[in-house]
Amino acid sequence: LITGCDSGFGHLLALRLHRLGFTVFAGCLCPGGAGARRLQREATAGAGRLRVLRLDVTRARDVLAAKELVLSHLPERGFWGLVNNAGISTFGETGWLSMEKYEKFADVNLLGSIRTTLAFLPLLRKYKGRIVFMSSIIAYFALGNGIYSMTKAAIERFCDALRLEMKKFGVQVCIIQPGNYARSTKIQPPVSAEEIWNELGEEEKAVYNKEYVQERANFFNSILSEGSSNGSEVVDAMVDALMSPAPKARYMVAKLKEKALVFVCALFPTVVVDSVLSYALSK
């Protein structure tokens, strides 16, 4: 079962695993959308091995319905893998975002993965399967998207606890940490400074000005434009996590400079990390 198959890594992974001979349950937020329709076209050529289902990971009844569907169409060899891929992203400094937006991001990126994992744990323990979580190198630092970074850092700690607890059942837990693949996944559309400004409250507008918001938007959009369009690199790591006899706990799929930044953020004192990130923001 893969969540978030409408587009991006989830969509690519569903197609890849289908071609490799897996029975795939592709969870889509919009089962009538273009991505889901493409998956359904693939399903007609695979003897029913690819099933598209509606799956909003924030809705418990959707998760329960997905579990019932999996159980009713379970292959003879059982349930092997759960891929928690669904996620959303946005840009904005801390005070620019509403509490409702924080709650939504926590529900999709963090609680959605936990909700789905808890539902399928009994099956995964029974068949000694695999659980794969989509994280990001942004779990180590934040550059204008602290709300996304927050959820990815939290899911990393959840995975660390789960990985240790599942070892006694023979269940492997893996984390995928992509670098900047914005052009491949389209998870983050280009930022509009005008839209950000219009959504700001009066207190925030009194502190910031349109020029600053435009500068931040330009900075973030430049990062998005530099993202890799080769999503198959990340899918390769996801497939290895599912198929390798000895999968890694973490797969970091990133450029050298991105890995270097993660190294600095993970091992250097906070004062050094803050200086490096402040310099990047000032540029």
pTM of the model: 0.93
Nearest 5°: phi and psi at 251? -120, 105
Share of the chain above pLDDT 70, in %: 99
C-alpha span between 182 and 228 (Å, rounded) = 7
Beta bridge partners of 251: 176
Model confidence at 224, in pLDDT bands (50, 70, 90)? confident
- pLDDT value, residue 42: 77
Highest averaged pLDDT of the listed ranges 89-103, 138-152, 201-215, 229-243: 229-243
Single out the residue of 134, 144, 257 nearest to residue 185, CA to CA.
134
Does residue 160 carry a pLDDT above 70? yes
Given 3.40.920.10, 1.10.630.10, 3.40.50.740, 3.40.50.720, which CATH number is that of 2-187+230-257? 3.40.50.720
Would you please indicate which residues are annotated as catalytic (active-site) residues? 148
- The conformational region for residue 27 under phi > 0 = left, psi -120 to 50 = alpha, else beta, is beta
User: What are the sequence ranges of the domains in the chain?
Assistant: 2-187+230-257
pLDDT at 269: 95
In this structure, the number of other CB atoms found within 10 A of the CB of residue 258 comes to 18
Which residue shows structure tokens 């799956």? Answer: 55
In Å, what is the CA distance from 121 to each residue of 29, 182, 268, 276?
22, 31, 37, 41
The angle subtended at Cα 51 by Cα 49 and Cα 53, nearest 5°, is 165
pLDDT digits (tens, 9 = 90+) for 251-261: 999 999 999 99
Backbone angles phi, psi at 225, to 5 degrees: -70, -20
Sequence-distant (≥ 6) Cβ neighbours of residue 219 within 8 angstroms: 144, 281
pLDDT tens profile 21-75: 999 999 999 999 999 999 988 777 666 789 999 999 999 999 999 999 999 999 8
